[in-house]
Amino acid sequence: MSEKTPVLSVRSLSVDYLGDRTVHAVRDVSLVVGRGEIVGLAGESGCGKSTFAYGVNQLLRPPALITGGEVVFHDRSGQDINVLELEKKDLRAYRWDKVSMVFQGAMNSLNPVTSIRSQMADVFTTHRPDMSRKDRLARSRELLELVGVDPGRLGSYAHELSGGMRQRVMIAMALALNPQLMIMDEPTTALDVVVQREILTEIMRLREELGFAVIFITHDLPMLLEISDRIAIMRAGQILELGTAEDIYFDAQNDYTRKLLTSFPSLTGERGDFIRGSASDRETAVI
């Protein structure tokens, strides 16, 4: 558990996908995120990482069903919010105002026929209806500058931006209402390594500057070791190990964690062991 004041407490969260054969995608997962903390969630594709993130943000759709657990957001005002009991109106405010999310493949999520200016303005017209047009434009320009994009790009369309710029725009939109927690689901997927490094540097800088917490979801454990305060290792819907980045790297307790650490090839050393799947994994895993 984080020593910092918590911003989010997830207790025994379970999510099933209903069908001819029920899939237990997330099984009794508990996780506490501290204010300003970066918590990495690592695991192979299909282990339930994204399902967990969608469950925390109440974004799951049938046939997914939360079958147990509790998600509590600890607002900086001192109020504790039971997320799973929020009605639609309050849930909409929670998602952007308290917790924002950068989705997997987010750089392809921009509307191709609408300008960046219009898409950013939509956030404010929906969640800050009293905000003037002049203030919306000023805030949009400020947000683009914050993530390293020329504000002159507000008039651009998605196809006129590089992949890295589109990803930065999505991060800017996620920051629009000053959330206290940002959930990032594979935010650097499909970007080349140079752009990945730039995006990660921006995330670290923004976290230091603005003080929001991050749940960073990826299969790339070496990346998490570099940027995370703590790391949770997930497999087949469960968290197998949780510790500081240093503890995970130097003193991993779980055999699966140790295999993950050695599954990335070295430029000079011998090849490590690869991870074999199991029937039980395939029955419970969800992409």
Identify the CA nearest to 33 among candidates 60, 63, 57, 51. Answer: 57
Range of the domain at 210: 6-265
pLDDT tens track for 150-172? 999 999 999 999 989 999 999 99
Amino acid 268: pLDDT: 60
Count of other CB atoms within 10 angstroms of residue 48: 27
pLDDT tens track for 187-224? 887 788 888 889 899 999 999 999 999 999 998 898 99
Residue 191 lies in a domain: yes
Residue 90 lies in a domain: yes
Identify the CA nearest to 262 among candidates 248, 277, 247. Answer: 248
Residue 271 lies in a domain: no
Amino acid 109: pLDDT: 83
Q: What is the CATH number of the domain that holds 255?
A: 3.40.50.300
Residue 218 lies in a domain: yes
- The radius of gyration of the chain's CA atoms, rounded to the nearest angstrom, is 19
Residue 181 lies in a domain: yes
* pLDDT, greater one: 117 or 88: 117
Amino acid 282: pLDDT: 40
Number of structural domains (the chain) is: 1
Residue 18 lies in a domain: yes
Residue 281 lies in a domain: no
Residue 133 lies in a domain: yes
Amino acid 264: pLDDT: 66
Residue 173 to residue 123: CA distance in whole angstroms: 8
| Most confident range, picked from 106-115, 137-146, 267-276 | 137-146
> Is the sign of the CA dihedral 225, 272, 265, 184 positive or negative?
negative
Q: Is the pLDDT of residue 183 over 50?
A: yes
Average pLDDT, the chain: 89
Q: Is the pLDDT of residue 29 over 90?
A: yes
